[in-house]
Amino acid sequence: MMIIGVIEIFAGILVLLRPAIGGLVVAGWLTLIAVALLAGAQFFDLAVRDLVMAVGAFSLARLSKFIS
């Protein structure tokens, strides 16, 4: 779990510095988490939550290209 925490901190810093790239990284990370939750056939509510956050992160990445 500590390794995952370090990865998530790195992803957060990446979103702060480069939102176009960081948003895609976070969207991919959240999608992988959701797939892992669905593969275990448990925690469907958490999988949906992570997929919704992935869509938000992807939207951030797309919108940041227009702002900068």
pLDDT at position 2 is 84
pLDDT at position 43 is 87
pLDDT at position 54 is 95
Alpha-carbon distances, residue 30 vs 11, 46, 66, 67 (angstroms): 11, 11, 23, 24
Question: For residues 37 and 14, what is the distance between their CA atoms, to the nearest angstrom?
Answer: 25
State both tokens at 48.
């949906």
pLDDT at position 68 is 61
pLDDT one-digit tens code per residue, 24-59: 999 999 999 999 989 988 889 999 999 999 999 999
Instruction: Tell me which residue has tokens 């951030």.
Output: 60
Q: What is the helix (H) or strand (E) element at residue 24, kind and residue range? A: helix 19-39
Written as one string, the DSSP assignment of 10-22 is HHHHHHHH-HHHH
